Amino acid sequence: MEAYTLGEIASRVHGTVRGDASRPVTGIKPLDQAGPEDLSFVAHPRYRRAAATSRAAGLIAREQDIAPGRNLILVENPYAALAVAMELFHAPEHPSSGISPLAALGEETRLGRDVFIGPFVVTGRRCRVADRAALMPGVVLGDDVHVGEDSLIHPGVVVYSRSRLGARVIVHAGSVIGSDGFGYAEQGGARAKIPQVGNVVVEDDVEIGACVTIGEGSILVAQSGVAGSTRLGRAVVLAGQAGAAGHLTLGDGSIVGAKSAVLQDLAPGSFVVGHPAVDHHEWKRCQAALRRLPELLRAVARLELRLGSSRGAAPEAHRSVAARPAKARRSPGRRRR
Amino acid sequence: MEAYTLGEIASRVHGTVRGDASRPVTGIKPLDQAGPEDLSFVAHPRYRRAAATSRAAGLIAREQDIAPGRNLILVENPYAALAVAMELFHAPEHPSSGISPLAALGEETRLGRDVFIGPFVVTGRRCRVADRAALMPGVVLGDDVHVGEDSLIHPGVVVYSRSRLGARVIVHAGSVIGSDGFGYAEQGGARAKIPQVGNVVVEDDVEIGACVTIGEGSILVAQSGVAGSTRLGRAVVLAGQAGAAGHLTLGDGSIVGAKSAVLQDLAPGSFVVGHPAVDHHEWKRCQAALRRLPELLRAVARLELRLGSSRGAAPEAHRSVAARPAKARRSPGRRRR
Amino acid sequence: MEAYTLGEIASRVHGTVRGDASRPVTGIKPLDQAGPEDLSFVAHPRYRRAAATSRAAGLIAREQDIAPGRNLILVENPYAALAVAMELFHAPEHPSSGISPLAALGEETRLGRDVFIGPFVVTGRRCRVADRAALMPGVVLGDDVHVGEDSLIHPGVVVYSRSRLGARVIVHAGSVIGSDGFGYAEQGGARAKIPQVGNVVVEDDVEIGACVTIGEGSILVAQSGVAGSTRLGRAVVLAGQAGAAGHLTLGDGSIVGAKSAVLQDLAPGSFVVGHPAVDHHEWKRCQAALRRLPELLRAVARLELRLGSSRGAAPEAHRSVAARPAKARRSPGRRRR
């Protein structure tokens, strides 16, 4: 097993060592499982006590979260540092290549080089699995499904016919891509089932959690992500680098702007942007108002001068805008779920 | 591939052609994928711009949603028309018949004519799969499960022992029929596990979305439907043509009246009716009140006359009921989620 | 089939027979399916009418829920009695032992005595399946997964690498143990994927519902339970005998105290206790206040005496605490979802 010194790791994660920089470690483990050859981490002051009793050789931590007397790699963001440090020790979980003789590959299915096809995988007709992609045990692809290079499809995932997955896509176990159910059109009380036509398009570098369902006609643009158990209805669009938290419903036809983060359910037909994502009209109004903020500050200062308001006289809640240093001007943050 | 003219399609969907009724099309595709031999559709004014640049030979649309200068099939409800038009072009997704040699069928399992059994399907003892039913790859049936004629069970669905699925039932991928977990009875602090006894009964023409769980003892009466990721607890009843939206929880023992539409979670033991479904007592009171509405209108009119209220004098919010034409009397609709 | 008299069953469930104690029954069925040789049960007054027309030989019921004229086993808690009675008739659902020739067992996977391995089961490298454990069809275990004695893993369950399941664990169909998705750390706008390191630990006697996802690093301590479709994020802890209702999200790092019952979503980092579970600080304050309740009652009584308040004079809402009998003093219960 490869070993790195705390100093080597610190320079990789842009941190500073406090303590023995030459101390070697061979892996990364949680506080309570780490031994004297492991690195561990403290991502929250809650773990201060566990850190004190951990047998770890060193800890990745923020200065304020940890009592002195340990070998530390001090960083601003322990999670980000952890992610980088882990890449040193952990080979990706990608399985080695090979085609199980227990898989059932459909007619005209074409496989790239170095793919992994697990036992009991089923592919439909005319599927394409690109180089180094992995279909873990029990994955089922419908007809005409494409899976891009280096993608990793975990056990039991079902991809309905005609869907396209890009390169480096990860889909976790139990997810269903291509239908979350059904569409019915009502007319005069009668219902007609709408046949499924739209496929699902998942672009490059997308990650999809466990037991996620993605309805037909949806598009996940490159580098977007969906956490576990979330449900995308029909024709949902996640633009580039957008994300959705777990266990949410994104209604039919909802659109999530680039880099936006959805933290609550979306009604059908929503169009949201931002982090957390809000209605795009609201967001635009806020952005427009934001650009007028300097002007607003000047206007309020003028009003205050005209009305003779002064720092000493005004109660705390009415302190003069003009009198406050720019640095203290912070719009109050409100957390949404 | 079969071709139809826009005129032929219009007469099938009860629409009117504006433009070239003799123009042939060979399929239906979304606006951005449609080519000069395809029909497409505009279901929302949001797609007006996409419609303008689409290469489609013609569009199904409402008059108000679309700019002139295209071949159109004008209808009131584009989704309903789409559903009908699609039936012309899309053969049902039902697979052709055949029994995979890679399936594991249990003792005394009996198969009807022209069934499809995919690879890695497992059936328990004494199962029955009726004529033309399809068990897609990786479906698992427990003991004594019956699947009715023409039913389509998508990949990876698990049906627990003794459950019954009717004719023309569709179950989407990843759903679990027959247990969503467990029942415990508490007595004096001790817990006793309640063994599973009730089976699940799914009657004819029911559709069940992806990753739906249906607890034991539940009954889905004919033509009901459950959208993706919804969870039915133990002993839930969906009466005929009832539906439940996606990602909901219907608590143990809840009952949904015929033709009702559940759009929010139901507490255990609920009994709801209507669209959207509300508590059945509330619904009955509303229905009773509704029948007294004509009487009420007359009473209010009499009161107004006695009090000398007149149209001209009353502010907008207090306009005389007596003076308003019957056609304008509309109860305000409130949308629930 | 074995037969028991109503008298024998009554003594087993600590109930009393009203009617013919010598009447034999051979099974337990719901009211509408029970025949003249079956026992049935009435767990709610709602079923009074169904009970009247049931053909059952006898009914387990509470006295107040049922009209006279039937053979009854009268109990306080019909569900608990039912659970006990069922154990007489229902052998556990555990399948008989045997290794399907259609399973794919990984290198160095070791199986205990009398295990059941269904068709199309896949195990990774170095897995251990202990005595009498059952892996139903299509179960997939990653590398280094351990499954304890007498555990029952239902069809299609996926367990990610390095996870540990204890003895007598039940996991229902479609659940995913070990990853619900992904972790990303953000730093300066860039995202780095956090490799998966923590395994999932499920201790003895835990039951997990259908389509549950349990994220990496989570621990389910002995005798805890998770109902269907609930999602546990990363590093969630359920202490001993804790439970979570169905279709909930327990955020990353949330901790549920022993014997607590989670009935609503938990934000990341929550620490809750109680039934229903509330924030542990709130709970501690309530518990502290509770201990001061006797003192409080005395203080209020003294105040009332000093102010000369009297039972007759005070309106209902201000009745004297001093004057009320201890038995009637009940803190008002508020139900949470």
Q: Which domains does chain B have, with CATH numbers?
A: 4-89 (3.40.1390.10), 292-328 (no CATH)
* Predicted pLDDT at C149: 97
Check B44 against A197: CB less than 8 A apart.
no
Q: Determine which of A71-75, A170-174, B157-161, C327-331 has the lowest per-residue pLDDT on average.
A: C327-331
Strands B207-208 and B225-226: parallel
DSSP conformation class of A213? E
* Predicted pLDDT at B299: 79
Identify the chains in contact with B, defined as 3+ C-beta pairs within 8 A: A, C
In 3D space, the residue among B236, B252, B151, B225 whose CA is nearest the CA of residue B200 turns out to be B236
Q: Give the C-alpha distances (Å, rounded to integers) separating A173 from B290, C179, C220.
A: 51, 8, 20
By three-state DSSP, how is residue A177 classified? strand
Residues of B in contact with A267 (CB under 8 A): 337
Strands A213-214 and A231-232: parallel
By three-state DSSP, how is residue A207 classified? strand
* Predicted pLDDT at A27: 85
Query: Is some CB atom of chain B closer than 8 A to the CB atom of C28?
Result: yes
Instruction: Assign C328 a pLDDT band (cuts: 50, 70, 90).
Output: very low
Strands A184-187 and A190-193: antiparallel
Strands A225-226 and C170-171: unpaired
With beta carbons less than 8 A apart as the criterion, state whether C220 and C165 touch: no
Q: Determine which of A167-171, B134-138, C331-335 has the lowest per-residue pLDDT on average.
A: C331-335
Which residues touch B263 (CB under 8 Å, ≥6 apart)?
Answer: B245, B248, B276, B277, B336, B337
Mean pLDDT of each 10-residue bin along chain B, 337 residues long? 88 92 89 88 81 91 84 86 76 77 94 96 96 96 96 96 94 90 51 62 92 90 89 88 90 88 91 89 82 78 74 48 45 38
* Predicted pLDDT at A111: 97
With beta carbons less than 8 A apart as the criterion, state whether B224 and B209 touch: no
Check A215 against B228: CB less than 8 A apart.
yes
CA distance C294 to A192: 66
Query: Is some CB atom of chain A closer than 8 A to the CB atom of B228?
Result: yes
The residue of B139, B176, B236, B237 whose CB has the most chain C CBs within 10 angstroms, and thus the best one to mutate to test that interface, is B176
Residues of B in contact with A176 (CB under 8 A): 172-174, 210-211, 228
* Average pLDDT across chain C, whole number: 83
Residue C82, Cβ neighbours under 10 Å: how many?
Answer: 24
Check B80 against A187: CB less than 8 A apart.
yes
* Predicted pLDDT at A91: 55
Model confidence at C323: pLDDT above 70: no
* Predicted pLDDT at C331: 40
CA distance C192 to C111: 39
Q: What radius of gyration do chain C's Cα atoms show?
A: 26
Alpha carbon of C52: minimum distance to chain B alpha carbons (Å)? 20
Query: Residue B224 burial by CB count (10 A; 0-12/13-18/19+): exposed, middle or buried?
Result: buried
Give the chain A residue nearest B87 (alpha carbons): A195
CA distance C264 to C276: 9
Instruction: Assign C71 a pLDDT band (cuts: 50, 70, 90).
Output: very high
* Predicted pLDDT at B217: 81
DSSP conformation class of A314? S
In sequence order, what E strands does A72-178 have? Answer: 72-74, 98-99, 110-111, 116-117, 122-123, 128-129, 134-135, 140-141, 146-147, 152-153, 158-159, 164-165, 170-171, 176-177
Check C138 against B161: CB less than 8 A apart.
no
Residues of C in contact with B267 (CB under 8 A): 337
* Predicted pLDDT at A52: 87
Q: Which range in A26-40, A118-132, B37-51 is most confidently predicted, on average pLDDT? A: A118-132
In the block, tokens 């009393």 appear at C16
Query: Is some CB atom of chain A closer than 8 A to the CB atom of C267?
Result: yes
Q: Give the C-alpha distances (Å, rounded to integers) separating C38 from B192, C3, C27, C89, C216.
A: 22, 10, 5, 11, 46
Q: Determine which of A54-63, A308-317, B123-132, C69-78 has the lowest per-residue pLDDT on average.
A: A308-317
* Predicted pLDDT at A126: 95
Say how far residue B91 (Cα) sits from the centre of its chain: 20
Phi then psi dihedrals of residue B53, to 5 deg? -100, 0
* Predicted pLDDT at A116: 96
Model confidence at A313: pLDDT above 80: no
* Predicted pLDDT at B194: 56
Instruction: Assign C320 a pLDDT band (cuts: 50, 70, 90).
Output: low
Query: Is some CB atom of chain B closer than 8 A to the CB atom of A148?
Result: no
Query: Is some CB atom of chain A closer than 8 A to the CB atom of C269?
Result: yes
Residues of C in contact with A83 (CB under 8 A): 183-185, 192-195
Q: Which range in A47-56, A323-332, B139-148, C198-207 is most confidently predicted, on average pLDDT? A: B139-148
* Predicted pLDDT at A180: 65
Instruction: Assign A199 a pLDDT band (cuts: 50, 70, 90).
Output: confident
- Which residue in B156, B209, B247 is closest to A182 by CB distance? B209
* Predicted pLDDT at A88: 77
- Which residue in C28, C80, C210 is closest to B181 by CB distance? C210
Which residues touch C308 (CB under 8 Å, ≥6 apart)?
Answer: none
Higher pLDDT, C164 or C275: C164
Model confidence at C314: pLDDT above 70: no
Say how far residue B155 (Cα) sits from the centre of its chain: 20
In 3D space, the residue among C149, C186, B211 whose CA is nearest the CA of residue A259 turns out to be C186
Identify the chains in contact with A, defined as 3+ C-beta pairs within 8 A: B, C
* Predicted pLDDT at C90: 64
* Predicted pLDDT at B287: 79
Residues of B in contact with A184 (CB under 8 A): 83, 225
Model confidence at C122: pLDDT above 50: yes
With beta carbons less than 8 A apart as the criterion, state whether A13 and A81 touch: yes
* Predicted pLDDT at A43: 76
Q: Which range in C45-49, C111-115, C314-318 is most confidently predicted, on average pLDDT? A: C111-115
Higher pLDDT, C9 or A335: C9
Model confidence at A39: pLDDT above 60: yes
Query: Is some CB atom of chain A closer than 8 A to the CB atom of B79?
Result: yes
Instruction: Assign C13 a pLDDT band (cuts: 50, 70, 90).
Output: confident
Mean pLDDT of A168-173: 94
Check A198 against B172: CB less than 8 A apart.
no
Q: Give the C-alpha distances (Å, rounded to integers) separating C59 from B25, B193, B195, B218, C80.
A: 66, 20, 17, 21, 14
* Average pLDDT across chain A, whole number: 83
* Predicted pLDDT at C244: 92
Sheet with B271-273, strands from edge to edge, namely: B110-111, B128-129, B146-147, B164-165, B201-202, B219-220, B237-238, B255-256, B271-273, B278-279
Dihedral (CA of A61, A66, A71, A76) sign: positive
* Predicted pLDDT at C337: 36
* Predicted pLDDT at A129: 98
* Predicted pLDDT at B91: 55
Query: Is some CB atom of chain A closer than 8 A to the CB atom of C30?
Result: no
Higher pLDDT, A126 or B246: A126
Q: Determine which of B252-266, C5-19, C181-195 has the lowest per-residue pLDDT on average.
A: C181-195
Higher pLDDT, A196 or C54: C54
pTM: predicted TM-score of the whole model, two decimal places:
0.76
Q: Tell me how many residue pairs between chain B and chain C have CB atoms under 8 A apart.
A: 135
DSSP B63-97: GGGS-SSS-EEE-S-HHHHHHHHHHHH---SPPPP
Say how far residue B246 (Cα) sits from the centre of its chain: 10
Query: Is some CB atom of chain B closer than 8 A to the CB atom of A176?
Result: yes
- Which residue in A82, A154, A227 is closest to C185 by CB distance? A82
CA distance A237 to A217: 9
Query: Is some CB atom of chain B closer than 8 A to the CB atom of A184?
Result: yes
CA distance C39 to C199: 45
In 3D space, the residue among A202, A208, A252, A205 whose CA is nearest the CA of residue A230 turns out to be A208
Mean pLDDT of C158-165: 94
* Predicted pLDDT at C288: 79
Task: State the amino acid at position B226 in one-letter form.
Answer: V
* Predicted pLDDT at B267: 92
